[in-house]
Amino acid sequence: MKSYKYLDGCNILEIAKKYPTPAYLISWEGILQKVEQLEEDFTQKYKNVDVYYASKAFLCKSMCQIVKKFKFGLDVVSGGELFTAHRSGFDMKRVLFHGNNKSREELTDALIYGVGRIVVDNEIELENLIEVASMLNKKIKVLLRVSPHLESIDIDTHRYITTGQLDTKFGFLLEKGSLVKVIKHIIECKNLEFVGLHSHIGSQIQNHTIYEKSATVMATLVCDLNRELQIEMQELNMGGGFGIVYENSNLTKSLQFFIDPMMKKLEEKFKEFGYKRPKIIIEPGRFLIAEAGHTIYRIGAQKDIKEIRKFLFIDGGMADNMRVALYQSKYSATVIHSREKNEKEYVTIAGRFCETGDILIKDIELEKAEIGDILMIHSTGAYNFSMFSHYNRFRRPQVLLLKEGKVIELVKPETYEDLLTHDCDISL
């Protein structure tokens, strides 16, 4: 079992003394390992491909700067993410704007900031974009998001994060006649440039077969539309969703497990139909950042119900990790202390929030802990910070980057005063 007393050359117990807990930790080495996979197994291995980081997994100004360093693009889904990218100094031409209900304000900001691409999700949004682009006299590259209509049973993930089936809120239906009309409409608009299609089957996928099926559907659709419209699409965005194994990162599949079968199928289908393969784009989010992240807590109390369960109470919980309550997600953890190794015991990790469902890990075998010990939960880099809640007026924890023995602040911890920033005093 790996020791986590040190991470990237940093002493975790010393960090817990200097900084308040809970705290999100990001391993620079963990990020580098995933970047190397993305480069070796995709951008260097295949021609005419690109990577856009799915920023909903974790975003702050510093993360934008990290993504920029590795020359990846940035996939954003809201005005807030868009603004963060803009204020961080990110190259906005490398930003792709998603979302199934973008407001006119968000579309306006996107065009003013100069985003590179907008993924249009429905016809009403398309009309809004046409009006905004005309009003601002801006030209924007556009992709259409299309659901590949895969069988839900084939997409092996939680139903809340499945997006490639027919019954989904995302994207245009897979109807060639309707898509032909929409694309013709875009081509006729002087302020819009149609560049291709986008598809995303879901998140936390564990098999490659579904990527092959999606590749078959989307490549066939691209070629059919090319022939019908007498065009040649420049881009096909296949989305992301490459899963990890939260309970044991050693079991996480390599990127090539997902990518190679998908790319092989794409090459085959475009060759079969006699069209040049367009640029293939992928959007990893969780895959890049999840396993690089860890959250540290301090154990404050315990409750031992003989022959039933022993609870360890930590100073965080569902507010800083909503994924367990929302998706029934599983995690691994380590007790960190300065003693010699202890005997092990089965415990349940319970949070401090006023909900019975505030359980982060149920029945896990850990070293026997004492009050004041540090508990580290692993693979929390994706969605934990993003989904943070102020439930019970909890303060958002800080984010620390650990790099070559140095601790670098990415996000400062909230104070109680911060909680009152937007509260209003009234007279009744």
Residues carrying an active site annotation: 354
Residue 344 has phi, psi (to 5 degrees) of: -105, 160
User: What type of residue is 19?
Assistant: Y
- Maximum CA pair distance of the chain? 74
Cα separation of 353 and 392, whole Å?
A: 7
Q: Is residue 296 within 8 Å of residue 376, measured between CB atoms?
A: yes
Strand residues in 121-262 grouped as ranges (E): 140-145, 192-198, 235-237
d(CA 293, CA 83): 24
Which residues share a beta bridge with 99?
none
With CA atoms as reference, report the closest residue to 25 among 250, 320, 349: 320
CA angle 267, 283, 67 (to 5 degrees): 125
Rounded to whole angstroms, what are the CA distances from 297 to 7, 19, 42, 320, 386? 15, 11, 36, 11, 18
* Nearest-5° Cα angle at 387, 386 to 393: 115
∠ CA(173), CA(179), CA(184), 5° rounding? 155
> Are the beta carbons of 232 and 273 closer than 8 angstroms?
no
Half-sphere exposure of 221 (CA within 13 A, CB side): 30
